[in-house]
A and B are shown apart, each in its own frame.
Chain A
Amino acid sequence: MKVGVGLPTSTPGHDRELLLRWARRAEELGFSSLGVVDRVVYDCWEPISALTLAAEVTEQARLATMILIGPLRTTAELASQAAELQELSAGRLVLGLGIGARHDDYQAKGVDPSRRGRALSEQLAELRMDPASPPLLVGGGGPAFLRAARFADGYVHGGGPPRAFAGAAARARAAWREAERPGSPQLWGQGYFALGDAQRGADYLRDYYAFTGGFAERIAAANLTSPRAVKDFVRGYEEEGCDELVLFPTVSHPAQLERLAEAVAA
């Protein structure tokens, strides 16, 4: 299993300097990929722009959207952005797409959320048939498993303990089999961490996920706040057959990255 790290693009205090430094250092520390999230109605960077910045200061790391809310962009716009980044980064983009979880993101963009599942499928079909398409992943539950098997190279899980990942991975594989795709799907997982300053990390998660109601508390409570917790989490994901696990920061501080690298390596 490869381990990647999220870029600080939505944590409080994110800025250009930090992002560049973080991306550069993450690659030096051996993280396999740099991940970004996508939200419109929140103080955060647009994912493709953030990855474009990161692409300029890195050579090896894969650049992954986990996930990008496809229906919020027109397919033509997304395809050209992706193609550009793909070229700029010498083919390191992995485009993870989903419908997202929030209606207000759709309102903000003036997109009708009631057709979002279908819109995403149509978008994926179009992207996939373009010979210049980057590798695609699909995230989400329910219909997302077949969507991943139909249009993509794999499935991105939305986060949670290894058990939850295992359940989703089994479904993603089952859909893959049903679709008679050869081989097996790429399976990506993700988690949150705060190594030091756990309180700030929890505050950020509560705020970021406030729209989920009581669920925000749970996400905050599951934040990985000790090297031990990180190690167990990484081992758990590996055992469940995850191909690439991306750990997202909840505190905007470069020391977080160093500590994560130590915890993962130990």
Chain B
Amino acid sequence: MKVNILGAGPAGLYLAILLKQSDRRHQVQVVERNAPDATFGFGVVFSEGSLDELERADYESYIAITESFASWNPLDVRYRGTLTRIRGNVFSGIAREELLRLLQDRADRLGVELVFEREVRSLDPYLDADLVVGADGANSLTRRTYADRFRPELGQHPAKYAWFGADFAFPVFTYIFKETRWGLFQAHCYPYAVDRSTMVVLISEATWRNAGLDEMSEQESLELTQAVFQDDLGEGRRMLGNRSLWINFPWISCASWHSGPVVIMGDAAHTAHFSIGSGTKLALEDAIALARALARWKDDREAALTEFEMERQPVVERLQEASRVSADYFASVQRYFRFQPPQFAYQLMTRTPRITHNNLTARDPQFVREFETWFAGGDGRLVAPPPAFTPLQLREVVLANRIVLTRTGQGAGLVVTSLVGVTPEGRIDPETVLVSDLAPSPTGRGRGGGEEVMISLGHAGARGAMRPRSLGLDLPLPEAERWPLVSASARAYAPWTPVPSEADPAPLIDQFVAAARRVRELGYRLLELDFSRGYLIDSFLLEDRLDFPLQLLEAVRDVWPADLPLGVACSSDSLEAVRAFKAAGVDLVRVLNGQRTWDARTEYGRMYGAAASDRVRNECGVQTIAFGQITTVDEVNTIVAAGRADLCMLDPL
């Protein structure tokens, strides 16, 4: 087989090695525009998981690479003058230059034809082969040439970053968060040789401008950055530059990676944000999968390339998704600057759903134990319950744990009702409970389990007079059975639902106040007002009419005892509104983003509700309940411990 590989980065070189190694008769040529020793970047980091795959794929290069590794397992977080260390993470680093040299040597000895200092300007001269591989990096000419077949999607992360080095080895992987008068500087640092480290520095676009970096030379920007981090580097230590300027991370993904004899791999086909693991590892794994597929489907190239794509695309997509979450985390990390150091570090570790409380406990049981005692109140105790089973105080009410369910008798810390109608017109359907139907509860607790019960008062608005939920959602009752509907304006909720008339706010306030009084008289100690999901109050918020909801809230707060907590269920779409609710005396926000309009779209991924709750909690400084595919106690532990919510609605599977 004749193979032309364009680009001698990790992907191209490693593929050449594996092909030659599986069959010496293959004619393999690698074309590279740079000289063999020209390279950018500093160290390459391999995080998470082992490199067993490399060992199986080509033992010689595996030994050569791993012998040159700098390895460590703790991870340091330097934040607000403190240092938190978390163990049990597996990392190794190697100089990119060294990695390429080792791969070049191995390729050379196997008889790969390596052509350096030749720029590929058109693919045509290379197409006379059985296979043409575009391993030509993020700016891939191959991908651009066949853009109509590969259908690339390109994007940019808003933050700026630059690769620097340091003239010493950081003891372990280190995250540094440094506040300056221009804004936040972050560095992700890792050693890759006895006297060298990589420092990837991240700043926002605003910081970049404030500091004047947009107008500085490379040398000036190096000096400024070094001054920022000098304390962490230590006296006399220096940062190093290498042609790397402030850039936006490019997102690359492609619908297809192959067409006819042409296939793309590595950065040419996909990028994953560096904050979650190196593109280098992905590039090497691509090479392994491609070589393996080609060996299995000797005379059927199409089958081989299809198999390669089928095997790698899902893996890459999952990593890309996690890397997006991670990139967003680092871009909005200032949201968490109110956190105490242990929680800040915990949040950093669990920033993507890939690492939960259980995973973290397996990595560093001591860190988690100390974290748990801190979370439970510190006070010198040695043992503490996991975060989900830590009590929560809301004004005078103490909830036994952080789990919210919709039924009593199941062990929750809090039970929240479905919407309880303030008036018969406010019902969702004939089965909606009315405030006048509520059973008294002298203790405020439910029967059976003794959980605190939160009554969620609301008015269905344009979503009223529907058939019961056993049939479906938003299915209007037959005309004869409907009651009159009101909403902020005379607009139907959905194309198939009836048009309401315009609501008169004044009597509604009285009705809510009367209902709140009644709830208290019955003995309940937690009250929530439902401002969510396009129901009546939300229909005002959807029109940016904050006045009426606020008046209502203030009126209810007035009659609701000052020592008892008041909640609101609402979306995270307007943080300004949430801040106003908080100022009006709201203690707890249940963040519900779905169904505000009939065609609103929710992405129902794992723990999808945690991100919205996080935003509300940490941007508005209010306690929250997260809802949305939270299905295990491990997930509740993770969300609560990371300060993404104070309580979680659990959907047991």
Contact = CB atoms under 8 A, between A and B. Distances in A.
What's the dominant secondary structure at chain A's contact region?
A: helix
Contacts of B411: none
* Residue of A163, A178, A179 with most partner-chain B CB within 10 A: A178
Interface in B603-653: 604-606, 608, 627-629, 631, 651, 653
B474 A218 contact: no
A50 interface: no
A221 B307 contact: yes
Contacts of B494: 121, 125
B248 interface: no
Interface stretch (B104-112, B255-263, B510-518): B255-263
Interface string B34-53: 00000000000000000000
B310 interface: yes
A125 B473 contact: no
A174 B629 contact: yes
B605 A171 contact: yes
Contacts of A146: 594-595, 601-602
B601 A170 contact: no
Nearest to B600: A146
Contact of B604 (A117, A125, A174, A218): A174
B418 A214 contact: no
Nearest to A151: B472
A214 B472 contact: no
Interface stretch (B72-80, B170-178, B373-381, B463-471): B463-471
Contact of A150 (B259, B472, B605, B606): B472
Contact of A182 (B255, B469, B602): B469
A180 B474 contact: no
A218 B470 CA distance: 39
Interface residues of A, number: 35
Interface in A136-187: 142-143, 145-146, 149-152, 163, 170-171, 173-175, 177-182
Contacts of B303: 217, 221
A163 B317 CA distance: 14
B309 interface: yes
A212 B474 CA distance: 35
A128 B472 contact: yes
Contacts of A150: 472-474
Contact of A214 (B309, B594, B628): B309
Interface residues of B, number: 41
B475 interface: yes
Given A122-B496, A214-B309, A221-B307, A182 B470 contact: yes
Interface in B308-327: 309-310, 314
A104 interface: no
Given A150-B472, A151-B475, A179-B473, A122 B495 contact: yes
Given A125-B496, A149-B473, A151-B472, A175 B309 contact: no
B604 A171 contact: yes
B437 interface: no
Contact of B310 (A122, A178, A182, A218): A218
B547 interface: no
A43 B636 CA distance: 52
A197 B627 CA distance: 49
A151 B475 CA distance: 8
Contacts of A73: none
A177 B653 CA distance: 11
B569 to A, nearest CB: 12
Contacts of A152: 472
Given A129-B476, A146-B601, 19 more contacts: A118-B599, A145-B602, A145-B604, A146-B602, A150-B474, A170-B604, A173-B651, A174-B608, A177-B651, A178-B594, A178-B595, A178-B602, A179-B469, A181-B472, A182-B469, A182-B470, A213-B256, A214-B149, A217-B303
Interface of B: 149, 255-256, 258-259, 302-303, 306-307, 309-310, 314, 418, 467, 469-476, 494-496, 594-595, 598-599, 601-602, 604-606, 608, 627-629, 631, 651, 653
Closest 3 CB pairs of A and B: A174-B604, A171-B604, A214-B256
26 contacts: A118-B495, A121-B495, A121-B598, A122-B495, A128-B475, A129-B467, A129-B475, A129-B476, A150-B473, A150-B474, A171-B604, A173-B629, A174-B651, A177-B629, A177-B651, A178-B602, A178-B628, A180-B418, A181-B472, A214-B149, A214-B255, A214-B256, A215-B256, A217-B306, A218-B309, A221-B307
